[in-house]
Structure 1
Amino acid sequence: MINFQYIRTTTSKAAVDSLGKDKTAKFIAGGTNLVDLMKRGVTAPEKLIDINNVPLKQIELKGNILHIGALATNAAVAEHAVVKQRFPLLSQALNAGASAQLRNMATVGGNMMQRTRCGYFYDITMPCNKREPGTGCGAKEGYNRMHAIFGTSEACIAVHPSDMCIALAALDAQVVIMNPKGERKISFVDFHRLPGATPEKDNNLQANEMIIRVEIPLNTLAENSYYLKVRDRASYAFALVSVAAGLELKSNRIIKVRLAMGGVAHKPWRLTEAEAFLTGKDATEVNFKLASEIALKGSKSFGQNNFKLKLAPNSIIEALNQAKSKA
């Protein structure tokens, strides 16, 4: 690690102002991903802005919107009574991520900002367009078992690693962002980016902006929600494939459905066409299978991740069945 400056701020405005003064600066809160990247030489900020004392840890229901501050820990959100009762999909996804120790440190904003776990990105001796644009993508012809099957480009086939973000994409969340001019909101599904020709850009946050909170509207999916995470081992492993599924059922008829996938794309992958197909239909195995086939349109594998083309639709069916069974 290189030497770096370290400062603390106590307000969102001070944090944003400090960030704007130094293009190499980074925010640090839990630091569970950033510190790893610094140790490995993947990133080398000249200044760290500690935002732990900024009052952004709230978890509260305001009217029909749940407000979750960017500095609320993953553990606090997962175990919050309102989240467990009204948004169980989010609680399940958070508890499926990392380890208890990391969940106690990691923050909601940090979870959203974490970077891919692609081995070529972490190994500074290997080519990686995300880490060093123009050097190539080592994964395309290399070890790509964990990699994407949707939304890939010639420049990058890495996947987004978060579990929490998959649930938030399915729950129609919004991200509230602060910059020197004030606040703006962006739909959660539009916050992260596909790689395209600029895989070094993970999201649509601007250089002088800071995540303030996430807002989730109340929904009718709580009774029939399920987060399925398929992984190599039962704990502290990233998803091969994950599915966030929420259903509103009336006499086995699907009134509303929300579906998103992880482990398959550079961003949380919302299955809008499959949702449209299922809406108004009966919650049957046949319809779930047809929806999974629709969801896989446009998918592409790269050799070692060919198995995902079968695992992904099977996981969608299983997640929908599990969500339905909670009725």
Structure 2
Amino acid sequence: MRTFAYSRADSVEHAAHQTTPTAAFVAGGTTLLDLVKLDVMRPSELVDINTLPLKNVEWLDDGRLQIGALVTNTDLAHHPEVKQHYPVLSQALLAGASTQLRNMATTAGNVMQRTRCPYYRDPAAACNRREPGSGCDARHGLNRLNAVLGGSDACVAVHPSDMCVAMAAIGATLTLSGPQGEREVAFQDFHRLPGDTPHIEHDLADGELITAITLDPPLAPAGSYYLKLRDRASYEFALASTAAQLSLDGEMIGEARVALGGVGTKPWRCPEAEAALVGQPAEMATFERAADIALGGATPLEHNAFKIPLARQSIIRALREATRLARQGGKQEGLA
């Protein structure tokens, strides 16, 4: 492991003005420290932000829930307001990692989580995301776990987060602070598609850090469900996952939100599928049609074509379960 400097920020302003382009912020460090040890990330300095006052969860006057950047995944998953009003987020967090990791991982750190593509994590492999212009060994290598949505000739790495899939379905806004002050970015605009520049993963400028994530007002009354399909039941990354929310007007769907994980290069919101659900009867034919629309642009690689029917089933099952819960009045909580 390469040497680096270490410092501790005592305010958001201090953190924003303390960093250089080769520095990195560290909170839980559950991804960052792994990548430093693997020589994938090479920060010249780690700026510890754990003492910053960014650990509150509170309602805003406009009906949105604001989550501090340093709220741990454990605290967020079990927060009573999240369990009651955003159960799909609690479910996704509890499906995402072991208790030990959730106790350390932070909300902002989860948003910034790096891909688990083995070629990205291997300095000997060609990876445009890690080293621009070097190529993408995943496209013609072992690509079973790679993306079928949002990929490019330069990169097909999957975004690994479960939490971000739920936030994409809910809708959210990120508050960013940096040397130029504070600004807000819509959650769906924050993570970038790889295109020709896969090394630019997000809309975060040098010196900026996430200080809060504010969730859109909850659908009410609504049913929601997070379904994660994986190789093993215990704390594995998703092969395909779906976060689904919907409200009912009688037997017709009033509002709908659908986002996918495990199949896209970013947390994958499905607006066309949502539009196909609204105003339609809450039945299997509707769910199947929406699933087909959501995956209409999927492009499989040599080893991951199975993800398309798997994701289709994930969408259908999540919508079916969200409908069942909506019919019960939306009474639900996060997974145990």
Does TM, scored on the shorter chain, surpass 0.5?
A: yes
**Structure 1 CA distance, aligned partners of 2:309 and 2:40?**
33
Can you list the C-alpha shifts for 1:48-75, whole angstroms capped at 9, x where unaligned?
Answer: 0000000001111122110100111010
Instruction: Specify the SS of the correspondent of 1:120.
Output: coil
Q: How does 1:117-132 map onto structure 2 within 5 Å?
A: 117-132=116-131
- Check the 8 A contact 1:243/1:260 in 2, yes or no: yes
**1:13 is matched by which residue type in structure 2?**
E
Shift of 1:44: 1.0
CA RMSD of aligned residues (A): 0.9
Instruction: Specify the SS of the correspondent of 1:228.
Output: strand
Partner residue in 2 for 1:255: 254
**Structure 2 CA distance, aligned partners of 1:147 and 1:249?**
35
**1:7 is matched by which residue type in structure 2?**
S
Instruction: Specify the SS of the correspondent of 2:244.
Output: strand
- Check the 8 A contact 1:70/1:211 in 2, yes or no: yes
- Check the 8 A contact 2:154/2:195 in 1, yes or no: yes
Answer with 66-75 or 221-230: which moved more.
221-230
Shift of 1:223: 3.8
Partner residue in 1 for 2:49: 51
**Structure 1 CA distance, aligned partners of 2:206 and 2:231?**
36
1:2 is the counterpart of 2:2:
yes
Q: Percent identity?
A: 50
Can you list the C-alpha shifts for 1:62-117, whole angstroms capped at 9, x where unaligned?
Answer: 22110100111010000000000011111111111011100000000100111000
**Structure 2 CA distance, aligned partners of 1:69 and 1:75?**
13
**1:269 is matched by which residue type in structure 2?**
W
- Check the 8 A contact 1:288/1:317 in 2, yes or no: yes
Can you list the C-alpha shifts for 1:3-45, whole angstroms capped at 9, x where unaligned?
Answer: 11100012100000112xx221000000000000000000111
Length-normalised TM-score, structure 1: 0.98
Partner residue in 1 for 2:93: 94
Cα 1:50–1:273 change in 2 (3 A) is same
**Structure 1 CA distance, aligned partners of 2:232 and 2:278?**
34
Can you list the C-alpha shifts for 1:270-325, whole angstroms capped at 9, x where unaligned?
Answer: 11000001101110000100111111111100011010121111111011011111
Shift of 1:221: 5.0
**2:42 is matched by which residue type in structure 1?**
A
Partner residue in 1 for 2:188: 189
1:34 is the counterpart of 2:21:
no
**1:44 is matched by which residue type in structure 2?**
R
Partner residue in 2 for 1:285: 284
Partner residue in 1 for 2:244: 245
Q: How does 1:192-271 map onto structure 2 within 5 Å?
A: 192-221=191-220, 223-271=222-270
Structure 2 unaligned blocks of 5 or more: 328-336
- Aligned residues, how many? 325
**Structure 2 CA distance, aligned partners of 1:150 and 1:221?**
30
Structure 1 unaligned blocks of 5 or more: none
1:303 is the counterpart of 2:308:
no
Cα 1:222–1:194 change in 2 (3 A) is farther
**Structure 1 CA distance, aligned partners of 2:147 and 2:182?**
33
Length-normalised TM-score, structure 2: 0.95
**Structure 1 CA distance, aligned partners of 2:147 and 2:292?**
17
**Structure 2 CA distance, aligned partners of 1:172 and 1:221?**
14
Moved over 3 A (4+): none
